[in-house]
Amino acid sequence: MNIINQFAEKINGVLQTFDRMMINGYILQLCNYRQFQYYLIEKKVLLKDFNEFAIEQTKLMCEHIENYISDQDVKLRYLPSGKIDKGELANEAYNEAPAKTGLIAAYSAVEICNTMTVKANAEKKLEIVSKGTKCKHYYLYHNDAEFGRMFIKIQTWFPYNVQIYINGREYLSKILDKNDIKYEMYNNSFSYIEYFAKAQELADGIINDLAAEQRGIKGTKERKLLRPRGAGN
């Protein structure tokens, strides 16, 4: 039986919106074999010198990210295992300072990823390859004025892939605030909404809003985090 029909007398309204959104960010020039080769030529990096160059780029990126974290007066915590629940740790940080906006918590961990690198083939000639390996990742948890609680995951080895996680209910709650619609939340769910019809109208506009926001999402600080010096134009 449909749960909505089953408990119709106890349900004040129904709201449909997305639960979460993952935005995957790539520097396309660094994800294609041929374009990656052109990138190295442009940077005057020989294949035999790639490892040294890549280590320096990763070092610059890590320094840049950690300087950003320090500037936000947040302590970076290294996690000995990528399996540790970072969301649970971040919730503790959120609960300790619920009114704080901006960067709330930051973690780093070594995790599995796909990378672009240079290896010798069967003929012992160096070539560009895509390889599964492990590298350091940063997790930056924000309480954003626009999107609410969200996080950014940054890979620190070529091709520097990025994921931006947006919680749909958190985002909608910020929109409801802006429109003076009262609501209550419990465990990341809405337990009460004052005007369901208006809330649904606002929820329907989220995807279109995100499409526009994605072109300039977190337009200054986070974009700078994603690109180490020397990584593309």
pLDDT at residue 161, as a whole number? 95
Distance CA 129, CA 202 (A): 46
- 190: helix, strand or coil: strand
Sign of torsion, CA 156 157 161 163? negative
Helix/strand/coil for 176: helix
Judge whether 231 and 57 are in contact, CB under 8 Å: yes
pLDDT, tens digit, 9 for 90 and up, residues 91-135: 999 999 988 999 999 999 999 999 999 999 999 999 999 999 999
In one-letter notation, the amino acid at residue 5 is N
pLDDT at 38: 94
Intervals of the chain under pLDDT 50: 218-221, 223, 226-233
Looking at residue 233, its pLDDT comes to 45
- Separate counts of helices (H) and strands (E) for the chain: 8, 8
What pLDDT does residue 229 have?
A: 45
Which pairing describes strands 76-78 and 102-120: parallel, antiparallel, or unpaired? parallel
Per DSSP (E only), the strands in 35-96 are 76-78
- With tokens 């990528």, the residue in question is 82
pLDDT at 188: 80
* Boundaries of every domain in the chain: 3-226
- The pTM score is 0.82
